[in-house]
Amino acid sequence: MAFRHPISRLPGALALAAWGALALPFPAGAQVPGWSAMDGHWALTGGVISQQEEDPLHLDGFYATPAHVLQKEGVSGKDCVLEAEMGTAPRSDHVYGWNAVGFAFGIQDARNFYRVHFFPGYPGGELRFEKVVDGLTEITQAAYADFTPSPGEFYTLRLDIQGPALTARLRNGAQGELTLTYTDPAFSGGGVGLSNDAGPGFFRKVRLCEQP
Protein backbone atom coordinates (compact mmCIF):
# COMPACT_ATOMS: atom_id res chain seq x y z
CA MET A 1 0.00 0.00 0.00
CA ALA A 2 1.88 3.08 -1.18
CA PHE A 3 0.23 6.30 -0.05
CA ARG A 4 1.69 9.58 -1.12
CA HIS A 5 0.69 13.24 -1.18
CA PRO A 6 2.54 15.33 -3.78
CA ILE A 7 3.91 18.69 -2.68
CA SER A 8 2.22 20.31 -5.66
CA ARG A 9 1.02 19.47 -9.14
CA LEU A 10 4.57 19.95 -10.37
CA PRO A 11 6.80 16.88 -10.46
CA GLY A 12 8.29 16.38 -7.00
CA ALA A 13 11.86 17.31 -7.91
CA LEU A 14 10.77 20.51 -9.68
CA ALA A 15 8.50 21.57 -6.83
CA LEU A 16 11.29 21.10 -4.31
CA ALA A 17 13.79 22.92 -6.50
CA ALA A 18 11.47 25.93 -6.75
CA TRP A 19 10.79 25.91 -3.01
CA GLY A 20 14.49 25.59 -2.18
CA ALA A 21 15.41 28.51 -4.39
CA LEU A 22 12.99 30.78 -2.49
CA ALA A 23 13.89 29.62 1.03
CA LEU A 24 15.99 31.92 3.20
CA PRO A 25 18.59 29.87 5.12
CA PHE A 26 19.32 30.61 8.77
CA PRO A 27 22.80 29.83 10.12
CA ALA A 28 23.20 27.02 12.64
CA GLY A 29 22.22 28.17 16.12
CA ALA A 30 20.05 31.04 14.86
CA GLN A 31 16.27 31.20 15.19
CA VAL A 32 13.32 30.87 12.90
CA PRO A 33 10.81 33.25 14.59
CA GLY A 34 9.39 31.47 17.64
CA TRP A 35 11.88 28.61 17.36
CA SER A 36 15.47 27.91 18.48
CA ALA A 37 17.80 25.96 16.19
CA MET A 38 19.99 23.46 18.07
CA ASP A 39 21.73 22.40 14.86
CA GLY A 40 21.27 22.69 11.11
CA HIS A 41 20.31 25.41 8.63
CA TRP A 42 16.60 26.13 8.95
CA ALA A 43 14.32 28.28 6.80
CA LEU A 44 10.71 29.44 6.81
CA THR A 45 9.06 30.15 3.45
CA GLY A 46 5.39 30.16 2.53
CA GLY A 47 4.33 28.19 5.58
CA VAL A 48 7.01 25.51 5.06
CA ILE A 49 9.84 25.06 7.58
CA SER A 50 12.88 23.44 6.01
CA GLN A 51 16.23 22.12 7.19
CA GLN A 52 18.62 22.42 4.25
CA GLU A 53 21.99 21.22 5.54
CA GLU A 54 23.21 17.89 4.13
CA ASP A 55 25.45 15.86 6.43
CA PRO A 56 27.99 13.60 4.69
CA LEU A 57 27.46 9.91 5.42
CA HIS A 58 30.23 8.38 7.55
CA LEU A 59 31.71 5.01 6.62
CA ASP A 60 29.95 3.38 9.58
CA GLY A 61 26.58 4.48 8.19
CA PHE A 62 25.88 7.21 10.73
CA TYR A 63 26.08 10.99 10.78
CA ALA A 64 28.20 13.35 12.84
CA THR A 65 25.34 14.89 14.87
CA PRO A 66 22.46 13.06 16.60
CA ALA A 67 20.00 15.16 14.61
CA HIS A 68 19.23 18.65 13.38
CA VAL A 69 16.67 19.89 15.91
CA LEU A 70 14.51 23.03 15.83
CA GLN A 71 12.96 23.55 19.26
CA LYS A 72 9.67 25.40 19.78
CA GLU A 73 10.21 28.20 22.27
CA GLY A 74 8.16 28.20 25.47
CA VAL A 75 6.49 24.82 24.88
CA SER A 76 6.98 21.72 27.03
CA GLY A 77 5.49 18.35 26.13
CA LYS A 78 4.44 15.96 28.87
CA ASP A 79 0.74 15.41 28.06
CA CYS A 80 0.05 16.78 24.60
CA VAL A 81 -0.10 16.08 20.86
CA LEU A 82 2.51 16.88 18.20
CA GLU A 83 1.37 16.78 14.57
CA ALA A 84 2.73 17.96 11.22
CA GLU A 85 3.03 17.11 7.56
CA MET A 86 6.65 16.38 6.68
CA GLY A 87 9.03 14.74 4.25
CA THR A 88 12.56 14.77 2.87
CA ALA A 89 14.00 16.48 -0.19
CA PRO A 90 16.30 14.74 -2.69
CA ARG A 91 19.97 14.78 -1.66
CA SER A 92 22.83 15.84 -3.91
CA ASP A 93 24.59 12.50 -3.24
CA HIS A 94 21.38 10.52 -3.97
CA VAL A 95 21.76 8.66 -0.66
CA TYR A 96 18.20 8.82 0.66
CA GLY A 97 17.79 5.91 3.07
CA TRP A 98 19.35 7.52 6.17
CA ASN A 99 17.54 10.86 5.84
CA ALA A 100 14.72 10.95 8.41
CA VAL A 101 12.16 13.51 9.60
CA GLY A 102 10.07 13.60 12.75
CA PHE A 103 9.67 15.15 16.19
CA ALA A 104 12.13 15.73 19.00
CA PHE A 105 10.59 15.75 22.48
CA GLY A 106 11.69 15.50 26.09
CA ILE A 107 14.48 17.86 25.02
CA GLN A 108 17.00 18.65 27.77
CA ASP A 109 19.78 19.91 25.49
CA ALA A 110 21.32 19.23 22.06
CA ARG A 111 22.69 15.84 23.16
CA ASN A 112 19.83 14.58 25.35
CA PHE A 113 16.32 14.11 23.99
CA TYR A 114 13.82 11.64 22.59
CA ARG A 115 12.61 11.52 19.01
CA VAL A 116 10.21 9.71 16.75
CA HIS A 117 10.93 9.77 13.02
CA PHE A 118 10.59 7.91 9.75
CA PHE A 119 12.83 7.36 6.76
CA PRO A 120 11.49 8.29 3.30
CA GLY A 121 13.50 6.23 0.83
CA TYR A 122 14.33 3.48 3.33
CA PRO A 123 12.92 0.11 2.20
CA GLY A 124 9.89 -0.85 4.27
CA GLY A 125 8.97 2.63 5.46
CA GLU A 126 10.56 2.33 8.92
CA LEU A 127 9.14 4.34 11.84
CA ARG A 128 11.31 4.58 14.98
CA PHE A 129 11.32 5.79 18.55
CA GLU A 130 14.83 6.69 19.68
CA LYS A 131 16.45 7.98 22.85
CA VAL A 132 19.55 10.18 22.61
CA VAL A 133 21.72 10.26 25.75
CA ASP A 134 24.99 12.22 25.77
CA GLY A 135 24.86 12.25 21.97
CA LEU A 136 24.52 8.46 21.64
CA THR A 137 21.36 7.14 20.00
CA GLU A 138 19.45 4.06 21.14
CA ILE A 139 16.62 2.65 19.01
CA THR A 140 13.92 1.82 21.55
CA GLN A 141 11.07 0.74 19.25
CA ALA A 142 10.66 0.31 15.49
CA ALA A 143 8.12 -0.97 12.97
CA TYR A 144 7.76 -1.31 9.22
CA ALA A 145 4.80 -0.53 6.98
CA ASP A 146 3.78 -2.22 3.75
CA PHE A 147 4.78 0.93 1.87
CA THR A 148 7.98 2.87 1.32
CA PRO A 149 7.70 6.64 1.82
CA SER A 150 9.31 8.53 -1.04
CA PRO A 151 11.58 11.60 -0.95
CA GLY A 152 9.75 14.68 -2.22
CA GLU A 153 6.35 13.77 -0.72
CA PHE A 154 4.46 14.95 2.38
CA TYR A 155 3.33 12.50 5.07
CA THR A 156 1.44 13.22 8.30
CA LEU A 157 3.09 12.23 11.57
CA ARG A 158 1.21 12.52 14.87
CA LEU A 159 2.65 11.84 18.32
CA ASP A 160 0.38 11.49 21.37
CA ILE A 161 2.25 11.98 24.66
CA GLN A 162 0.38 10.82 27.75
CA GLY A 163 2.79 10.62 30.67
CA PRO A 164 5.24 7.80 29.89
CA ALA A 165 3.00 6.37 27.13
CA LEU A 166 3.88 7.46 23.58
CA THR A 167 1.87 6.67 20.44
CA ALA A 168 3.04 7.62 16.94
CA ARG A 169 0.89 7.46 13.80
CA LEU A 170 2.29 7.85 10.29
CA ARG A 171 -0.43 8.34 7.70
CA ASN A 172 -1.76 9.99 4.57
CA GLY A 173 -5.52 10.49 4.64
CA ALA A 174 -7.67 7.38 4.48
CA GLN A 175 -5.18 5.37 2.43
CA GLY A 176 -3.28 3.84 5.32
CA GLU A 177 -1.69 4.29 8.75
CA LEU A 178 1.23 2.82 10.66
CA THR A 179 0.94 2.99 14.48
CA LEU A 180 3.85 2.50 16.87
CA THR A 181 3.70 2.62 20.68
CA TYR A 182 6.45 2.94 23.27
CA THR A 183 6.41 3.38 27.05
CA ASP A 184 9.32 4.77 29.05
CA PRO A 185 8.78 5.20 32.81
CA ALA A 186 11.81 7.51 32.87
CA PHE A 187 10.19 10.04 30.51
CA SER A 188 9.43 13.24 32.41
CA GLY A 189 8.67 15.76 29.68
CA GLY A 190 10.82 18.52 28.27
CA GLY A 191 11.06 20.70 25.20
CA VAL A 192 9.51 19.77 21.87
CA GLY A 193 10.45 20.47 18.27
CA LEU A 194 11.21 19.20 14.79
CA SER A 195 13.96 16.74 13.92
CA ASN A 196 15.78 15.99 10.67
CA ASP A 197 18.64 13.52 10.21
CA ALA A 198 21.11 13.92 7.37
CA GLY A 199 18.99 16.50 5.47
CA PRO A 200 17.30 18.09 3.70
CA GLY A 201 13.86 17.88 5.34
CA PHE A 202 10.67 19.95 5.32
CA PHE A 203 7.60 20.49 7.53
CA ARG A 204 4.25 22.25 7.24
CA LYS A 205 0.94 22.52 9.17
CA VAL A 206 2.91 22.12 12.38
CA ARG A 207 1.04 21.99 15.71
CA LEU A 208 2.97 21.24 18.89
CA CYS A 209 0.91 21.00 22.09
CA GLU A 210 -1.83 23.15 20.50
CA GLN A 211 0.73 25.78 19.43
CA PRO A 212 1.04 26.50 15.67
pLDDT per position in the chain (212 positions), as tens? 333 333 222 233 333 333 333 333 334 444 588 999 888 889 898 899 998 888 765 544 444 456 789 999 999 888 999 999 999 887 776 666 678 899 999 999 888 999 999 988 777 678 999 999 988 888 999 988 766 677 788 899 999 999 999 999 998 755 578 899 999 998 988 999 999 987 789 999 999 998 75
| 89 class by beta-carbon count within 10 Å (0-12 exposed, 13-18 middle, 19+ buried) | buried
Ordered DSSP codes for 15-43: HHHHHHHH-----TT---TTEEESSS-EE
Rounded Cα–Cα distance for residues 15 and 152 (Å): 8
Rounded Cα–Cα distance for residues 13 and 15 (Å): 6
Sheet arrangement for strand 136-143: 35-37, 68-76, 191-196, 101-109, 112-118, 127-133, 136-143
**Domains annotated on the chain, with CATH:** 5-208 (2.60.120.560)
Q: Are strands 42-45 and 165-171 parallel, antiparallel or unpaired?
A: unpaired
Rounded Cα–Cα distance for residues 9 and 14 (Å): 10
